[in-house]
Amino acid sequence: MAVTIPPLERSDFLTGQPLVDGTEICGDSTYAITNPATGEALANVAKLGAAQTYRAIESNSRAFIDWRKRHAQERARLLHDWLALVRLHRQDLGLLMTAEQGKPLAEALGEVDYAASFIQWFAEEARRVYGEVIPGSADRRIIVIRQPVGVAGAITPWNFPAAMITRKVAPALAAGCTVTLKPSELTPLTAFALAKLALEAGIPPGVFNVVCGDAPAIGSVLTSHPDVTKFTFTGSTAVGKLLTAQCATTLKRVSMELGGNAPLLVFDDADLDQAVEGTIASKFRNTGQTCVCANRILVQGGIHDRFVEALAARVSAFTVGNGLEGATDQGPLITRAAFDKVQGHVADAIAQGGGIVTGGKRHGAGELFFQPTVLTGANPAMRLADEETFGPVAPVFRFDTEAEALALANATRSGLAAYAFTRDIDRAWRVAEGLETGMVGMNNGIVSTETAPFGGIKESGLGREGSRHGIDEFLEMKTINLGVRS
Ligand code: SIN
């Protein structure tokens, strides 16, 4: 098999397999993982299904008995040991991620750091699971303790092959839960490597399992098995709704981090450079393939032309190519279907009166590369106004008033992230309060950090990840009503 990546210190990361109960396991068949930049095969991995998922959950249930009883201090120590190994193997994890996902190496290394930040944060939070004491009545004291939910099922996407895993698994383990994770079939190698490092760090077999292969079969077991008491998903809204419905049959605790359609508002009084840099950071991160990427860029009339000119100058200077070669800024799209969607959005926008300022076509770097694109004259009738493009296309809508901008921004069933650029402090507050999203970047194109709650409203999700609230998703409250004789 042609291997298209520089040699790894941990060459076993390239031959990694699903990990259940501390053992790499095989399925009845295998499938190939390909590099989206070159189309070449990287590895063959086991294709698992329902039977192995049942096995994984059984091992989670066994491991839970001991793991939940370990003192928080010990779970924290083991998470810190896992963190140290992730940091030690940062370069290999970054190379692996670029090879299977396509993001430029600098971005992949940044994602390893982002992933590590969740392990560190929740290793620290493990020791801060506080309860409360409520003065009940003369003969009663009420004590609330917080205990792990139990076995958690998790499904993560291909766009962040490391960070979406640690943002779920680290708080689960910190809380005392055990987890079976299904990463995307497109990017399992990073997941296998993370699970292997957790095991090497001393996290006991069965605490963190990874299964992968037949997604509907695995998903159906994770969402229906009575021993799975918590289910957490990051991915599309359509799939999230389906999985939530499946979880309803056994009434699991559910958290959903789903699709967005982020508006980014630029007002006449914005700092032009800050607005352009913020737009680049939000729109073109991971080649436009994040659920918090700006999807609609709304620009006020007075700054519109200057903004478009400055944005197009930055965008046309991007280096597009294989993320493992040179100083690449933009990589490939993940699949042919993703490429076709981006191309379809651009064609539809042009047919509906949009104009290309830069880009607009397939890039010469390869089959799945699309030119970084800025288009103007965007309007609500276009497909890109209603659907996430998930690619390197910045459509600019023009508006006149703040009220019009807010109405346009909120005209969507999604409510994950939004961004606004203004130097007027009153407007900043009004707009931040008026945007119907779970997160707002104000004069800032990045909202993601381990320290802040991440999640959406409307059809963008349920619950929050990261921050001091992220661990709550894996904890239950228990009320102890204590009779007291005076
Ligand atoms: C996502 O795209 O699903 C998450 C992005 C982030 O954590 O910033």
CATH code: domain of residue 430: 3.40.309.10
Between the CA of 247 and the centroid of ligand 1 the distance, in Å, is 23
Verify that 88 and 159 share a domain, yes or no. yes
Closest atom of ligand 1 relative to the 447 alpha carbon = 8
Task: Give tens-digit pLDDT for 82-137.
Answer: 999 999 999 999 999 999 999 999 999 999 999 999 999 999 999 999 999 999 89
Q: For residue 172, how many C-alpha atoms fall within 13 Å in the half-sphere facing its CB?
A: 30
Does 285 share its domain with 237? no
Question: Is 486 a member of any domain?
Answer: no
**Gap from CA of 352 to ligand 1 centroid (Å):** 30
pLDDT digits (tens, 9 = 90+) for 417-452: 999 999 999 999 999 999 999 999 999 999 999 999
Measured in Å, residue 117 CA sits from the centre of ligand 1 at: 14
Residue nearest to atom 5 of ligand 1 (CA): 290
Per-position DSSP letters for 201-222, written without gaps between them = TTPPTTSEEE--B-HHHHHHHH
For residue 49, which of 16, 32, 31, 27 has the smallest C-alpha distance? 27
Pocket test for ligand 1, best of 160, 165, 287 (most atoms within 8 A of CB): 160
DSSP, collapsed to helix, strand or coil, labels residue 336 as helix
Site to substitute for ligand 1 among 101, 166, 448, most atoms within 8 A of C-beta: 448
Q: Per-residue pLDDT averaged across 69-90, rounded?
A: 98
Arithmetic mean of pLDDT, 302-324: 98
Which of 164, 184, 255, 416 has the most ligand 1 atoms within 8 A of CB, as the residue to mutate? 164
Same structural domain, 228 and 299: no
Please state, in angstroms and rounded to a whole number, the distance separating the CA atoms of residues 114 and 110. 6
Q: Is 165 in the pocket of ligand 1 (CB under 6 A)?
A: no
Are both 396 and 474 inside the same structural domain?
A: no
Which residues, 6 or more positions from 412, have their beta carbon under 8 angstroms from its beta carbon? Answer: 261, 263, 386, 458
Q: How far apart are the first and last CA of the chain?
A: 77
**How far, in Å, is the centroid of ligand 1 from the Cα of 312?**
25
Please indicate whether residue 234, judged by its CB atom, sits closer than 6 Å to ligand 1: yes
420/283 same-domain check = yes
179 with 216, same domain? yes
Res. 408: pLDDT tops 50: yes
Percent of the chain with pLDDT over 70: 99
Residue 3 phi/psi, 5° resolution?
-110, 120
Average pLDDT over residues 281-285: 98
Cα distance between residue 220 and residue 54, in whole Å: 11
Whether 419 and 446 share a structural domain: yes
Ligand 1 site, residue 295, Cβ cutoff 6 A: no
Q: Is the pLDDT of residue 159 over 70?
A: yes
Q: Is the CB of 114 under 6 A from ligand 1?
A: no
Count of helix runs (H) and strand runs (E) in the chain: 14, 20
Whether 2 shows a pLDDT value over 60: the answer reads no
Secondary structure E strands in 208-360 = 208-210, 228-234, 253-257, 262-266, 294-300, 355-358
Residues 122 and 43 in one domain: yes
Domain count, the chain: 2
Residue 484, domain member (yes or no): no
For residues 32-61, average pLDDT:
97
pLDDT of 4 > 80? The answer is no
The span from the CA of 189 to the CA of 7, in Å, is 15
What is the atom index within ligand 1 of the atom nearest the CA of 234? 3
Round the average pLDDT of the chain to a whole number and report it. Answer: 97
365-384 residue pLDDT tens: 999 999 999 999 999 999 99
If one counts every other C-beta atom within 10 angstroms of the C-beta of residue 114, the result is: 19
The percentage of the chain sitting over the pLDDT mark of 90, rounded to a whole number, equals 97
Residue 455 included in any domain: no
State which ligand 1 atom lies nearest to the alpha carbon of 167. 7
Same domain? For 157 and 40 the reply is: yes
Pocket of ligand 1 contains residue 287 by CB under 6 Å: no
Same structural domain for residues 102 and 213?
yes
Distance 160 CA to ligand 1 centre (A): 7
State the pLDDT confidence band at 27, using cuts at 50, 70 and 90: confident
**Residue 278 clears pLDDT 50, i.e. is over it:** yes
Q: What is the mean pLDDT of residues 73-88?
A: 98
Give the atom of ligand 1 at the shortest distance from the alpha carbon of 448: 8
Atom number of ligand 1 nearest to Cα 289: 2
CA proximity to 108, closest of 95, 118, 121, 119: 95
2 within some domain: no
Residues 114 and 18 in one domain: yes
Residues serving a catalytic function are 257
403 occurs within a structural domain: yes
**Is 166's C-beta closer than 6 angstroms to any atom of ligand 1?**
no
Mean local confidence (pLDDT), 131-155: 96
Domain that holds residue 36: 11-258+460-479
* 5 belongs to a structural domain: no
Ligand 1 within 6 A of CB of 156: no
pLDDT digits 0-9 by tens, 452-486: 999 999 999 999 999 999 999 999 999 999 999 98
pLDDT at 1: 46
Per-residue pLDDT tens over the stretch 225-269: 999 999 999 999 999 999 999 999 999 999 999 999 999 999 999
290 CB less than 6 Å from ligand 1? yes
In which band, very low, low, confident or very high, does the pLDDT at 5 lie, cut at 50, 70 and 90?
confident
CA distance 57 to 178: 9
| Cα distance between residue 355 and residue 202, in whole Å | 57
Ligand 1 pocket residue status of 115, Cβ below 6 Å: no
Tell whether 88 and 169 lie within a shared domain: yes
The domain that holds 30 is classified in CATH as 3.40.605.10
Q: Does the beta carbon of 101 sit less than 6 angstroms from any atom of ligand 1?
A: no
Residue 401 lies in a domain: yes
Q: Is 160 in the pocket of ligand 1 (CB under 6 A)?
A: yes
CA of 290 to the centre of ligand 1 (A): 5
- Residue 113 has a pLDDT of 98
Domain membership flag for residue 1: no
For every residue of 41-79, DSSP letters joined together read EEEEEEEB-HHHHHHHHHHHHHHHHHHTTS-HHHHHHHH
